[in-house]
Amino acid sequence: MTASGSGIGRSVPRVDAREKVTGQARFAGDLKLPGMLHGKVLRSIYPHARILGVDVSKAEALPGVVAVLTGADLLDIDPYYGHSIKDRPLIAIDRVRFVGEPVAAVAAEDEATAEAALNLIEVEYEVLPAATTMQAALAEDAPLLHEVEKLRPGLFHGLGELRPQGNICYQHTIARGEVAEAFERADIVVEGEYTFPAVYQYAMEPHTAVAQWEGDQVTVWASCQHPYLVRAELADLFGLPVTDVRVIVPYVGGGFGSKSYTKMEPITVALARKARRPVRIANRVDEAMVTTRRHNMVCRMRTAASADGTLLARQVSLWLDTGAYADNGPRVVATAADAAPGPYRWESFHVDAYGVYTNRPPSGSYRAFGATHLQWIGESQVDEVARRAGIDRVEIRLCNLLRPGEEVRPGGKPLDADLVGDVRKIAEALDWDSPKPPGTGRGLGVGLLAAGARPVSTAIVRLQADGTALLLVSTTEMGQGARTVLSQLVSEELALPVERIKVPGGDTNVTPYDRSTGASRSTTLAGKAVQRAARQVRDELLAIAGEHWGVAPHALELRQGAVWYGGKSLTFPDLIHERFGFSGGEIIGHGTVRPEAGKGSYAAGPVFWEVCIGGAEVRVDPGTGRIHILKLVSVADVGHAVNPELVEAQEMGASMQGLGNALFEEMVFDEGQILNSTLLDYHVPTIEDLPDAFISRLVENEDGPGAYGIKGVGEGALAGVPAAVVNALADLGIKVNELPLTPERIWRALHASDVPQRQEPIFKENP
Amino acid sequence: MAISIEGEFEIEAPADRVWAYFQDPVRVAPCLPGAELTRVVDEKTYEGRVRFRVGPVTAQYRGTVLIEQMDGENMTAEMVARGDQQGAPGRAEARLTFSLRPVGEARTQVAFRAQVTIAGALARVGGGMIQAVARQMMRKFAACVQEDLR
């Protein structure tokens, strides 16, 4: 049998486009429940302090205030959470560890009253010495953030026993061969110390949660990427079976990692528990910025090569600032370590990666974490090797890149992408061999990102008696087009038009288990579960039709919402009627994805290697140091594009965020206090920052683990862009070891000879 | 955030007159831009309010000033001011010392140093901007003192 195959490979319009442009789409913050209160959070003004007392009596006395929550209200539960390390109380208990940490929360009849009540809460602090930078946190006599012998494992931990070393909460090493020997032999050694700033994910919708208790059951509407992981953490915190916690995810206004794992849900649930009424908490942008961010990093890297440009060895030490609580820090550390060698055929490499607690807001996931941190550094060293060896920068990559099937790192999945082909595509789009106009620099960067997280996804397809289908899947639609793409997969399998497939939002009481929406995993993994669910429905339809005509299913064809046998057809409603003898009933298919080899562990993973690649052509104004992006190029090595326009949109979005990370964005802290927490001071790329030209190329080698050879995209370009821009600058003779590439930094680099430079290394020795 | 503010200005008046003037917080307070003395607790303790603008942020504090030392012989003084921000979570603490030095017979140099720690909403504007505002306040203060002593 065959399906008509019209569902995938077409750029059908987004299924939610009309709803969104007409303002009909509902987000968590739009929800209004009867009796719902508004919650506001009082946040710490100190980076590190003991709480001697919290007097909430005046706040409680304010008319309109229903409840005030403090750490003292949590004596009946174990109030600590954290999916990797259980190190964080849902509201401060006895101690605050960063400026912005929740100390109390007020639920009131309206927002203004809640806000006013915050100012009536009196907190008595004893200020403690703070470690507000990694340098301070790694110093010998540094104040300790978590004075425990062993860190408590989180629910989704898998890290082994963690004993903090001072403020280092997690360490990850990957190694192959003996680097020392290779460096001795090398003709060319490039080395440097590099810094990457703290940046903010900036989703347009800040974190929002609404919680409602009914008896001992709680329902939470949240702007979250991973509803099932949030459900598990809430159940654990409040001592409930998971079935008594229901997490519903309406549309989400962008995530980029900022809404991965558990964020504002626990404090909202705890406040609603105390108030005995539904409570809504919606962060402002400045509050969202201290809820999660991207790790700032210091990295020392050196690369060894022979005189002909053969790459030999690489050694890396890197320190990631995970802030006061680990959040997703350990995974970021491991992923950064994976990205550090870069996709080359090394004789040996050694990477030591550390996650460091500091008295700053916690850091977690952000699109292409790890790869974005490391790729610009590694790729700038490869360019420098090429310059010193006197060979072309594309050529050096073509010679040294890993080929499909070769080991990326010991114990992991071998390379599953054609990087040589991808680099050729970038070079071609940049007209690499054409003469450059004067004052123009060109650069490219290629790398790999361990993608897919854990391969656990399920989906249900319910074909209804009128021939429409409901797709139940817990993938969060956050602007990436998940509902559209997953509809297309059902459309492909059932030969149903996309308009006849409905995809409601995630709801843990309705849509089945999915590990998460992130790590470029949804089209690949949730998509595979969707395909399997749709195939069960298809098989049942064919079986019914085969029985009806007395023929084998393979003689039948699925087309236009019907099963065909020669010139005869039975529509889906006919088949359901045939099945149930009644104008009702439905056909249900379910699909499961689980680790198909090994244990699906991180060590055995990743699910696939996402290709991170980008190219740039730039010009620099020598008077101001401002970078002008003439051309930005991306290659989406996607395996098989379900919706080419959505792939391109993902590439463009990731590239623009990559430009923001490369050129503008940096959270500035002074003694742990963020100084630029408004969008006036913190510049994210706007329409004015678009490059003159953006070129995106599709590569469809059908080499991914998903249905039809699909693999994920959406993150890689973000890591590729800073690398490409840094290398384009170096092509102009401007070398910078610090992001973002602000006009001031570029100007200083241009005038390096007449401006004193910082000589001191940031860390004198490995901690 | 800790900020160090230092400065000096000159007043056209003999040092003993300036010193006597600074002994009287009730006279001095109105010269401090945005400041208001609300209660004299004892001769060393005063309660008050101060309100100022730093760029887009207006901050108002309510608190106490405690005079820790008044050394008439060397014409130096030391005091500590502590305040809670009004209308937003925040706190400020300042340790201020000043000393007078005669410059000729009818002129006095006033040198001061303040160690200020700010936590909360105002800290977001950054130390550099607060220092700039403090310098501006100092100029207004000096002009006002000069006016009072004329």
Q: Summarize pLDDT for A404-413 with one digit per residue, the tens.
A: 999 999 988 9
Collapsing DSSP to helix, strand or coil, A74 comes out as helix
Chain A (664-683) residues lying within 8 Å, Cβ to Cβ, of chain B: 670-671, 673-675, 677
Pairing between strand B90-102 and A279-282?
Answer: unpaired
For residue B123, give the chain A residue with the closest CA.
A673
A39, two tokens: 């919650």
Residue A592: half-sphere exposure toward Cβ, Cα within 13 Å: 3
Report the predicted TM-score, pTM, of the whole model to 2 decimal places.
0.94
pLDDT (mean) for A150-173: 90
| Closest-CA distance of chain B to residue A59, Å | 13
In chain B, the number of structural domains is 1
B120 touches chain A (CB under 8 A): yes
Residue of A730, A737, A728 lying closest to A659 (CA atoms): A728
Residue of A199, A299, A320 lying closest to A660 (CA atoms): A199
Check CB contact under 8 Å for B124 and A677: yes
Minimum mean pLDDT among A494-503, B48-57, B68-77: which range? Answer: B48-57
Query: CB of A674 within 8 A of CB of A99?
Result: yes
CATH number of A17-22+456-593: 3.30.365.10
Q: How far apart, in whole angstroms, are the C-alpha atoms of residue A669 and residue A42?
A: 20
Query: CB of A407 within 8 A of CB of A175?
Result: no
Which pLDDT does position A680 carry in this prediction? Answer: 87
A46 touches chain B (CB under 8 A): yes
Domain A297-453+600-751 has CATH 3.30.365.10: yes
B101 touches chain A (CB under 8 A): no
Q: Give Cα A162 to chain centroid, integer Å.
A: 24
Chain A residues in contact with B90 by the CB 8 A cut-off are 45
CATH classification of the domain holding B136 = 3.30.530.20
Mean pLDDT of chain A: 95
DSSP assignments along A432-456, one per residue: TTSPPPTTEEEEEEEEEEEE-SS--
Q: Summarize pLDDT for A327-375 with one digit per residue, the tens.
A: 999 999 999 999 999 999 999 999 999 999 999 999 999 999 999 999 9
Of the partner residues B88, B91, B124, the one whose CB lies closest to the CB of residue A675: B124
- Enumerate helices (H) and strands (E) in chain A, giving the number of each: 18, 31
A486 touches chain B (CB under 8 A): no
Q: How far apart, in whole angstroms, are the C-alpha atoms of residue A256 and residue A684?
A: 14
For residue A103, give the chain B residue with the closest CA.
B89
Q: How far apart, in whole angstroms, are the C-alpha atoms of residue A516 and residue A204?
A: 20
Q: How far apart, in whole angstroms, are the C-alpha atoms of residue A5 and residue A11?
A: 14
Of the partner residues B88, B90, B126, the one whose CB lies closest to the CB of residue A670: B126
DSSP assignments along A412-436, one per residue: SPPP-S-HHHHHHHHHHHTTTTSPP
Check CB contact under 8 Å for B87 and A119: yes
Neighbouring residues of A29: CB distance < 8 A, sequence distance ≥ 6: A205, A208, A223, A280, A282
Q: Summarize pLDDT for B129-149 with one digit per residue, the tens.
A: 888 888 888 899 999 999 999
Residue A53, classified by CB atoms within 10 Å of its CB into exposed (0-12), middle (13-18) or buried (19+), is exposed
ipTM reported for the complex, 2 dp: 0.84
Percentage of residues in chain A having pLDDT higher than 70: 96
Which residue range(s) make up the domain with B70?
A: 2-148
Minimum mean pLDDT among A188-192, A249-253, B19-23: which range? Answer: B19-23
Same fold, A17-22+456-593 and A297-453+600-751: yes
A474, two tokens: 């817990």
Residues A31-130+205-253+258-289, CATH architecture: Alpha-Beta Complex (3.90)
Q: Where are the domains of chain A?
A: 17-22+456-593, 31-130+205-253+258-289, 297-453+600-751
Chain A residues in contact with B1 by the CB 8 A cut-off are 670-671, 673
Query: CB of A192 within 8 A of CB of A379?
Result: no
Check CB contact under 8 Å for A671 and B120: no
Q: Summarize pLDDT for A249-273 with one digit per residue, the tens.
A: 999 999 999 999 999 999 999 999 9
Q: Summarize pLDDT for A50-77 with one digit per residue, the tens.
A: 999 999 999 999 999 999 999 999 999 9
Chain A residues in contact with B126 by the CB 8 A cut-off are 670, 675
Chain A (71-100) residues lying within 8 Å, Cβ to Cβ, of chain B: 99
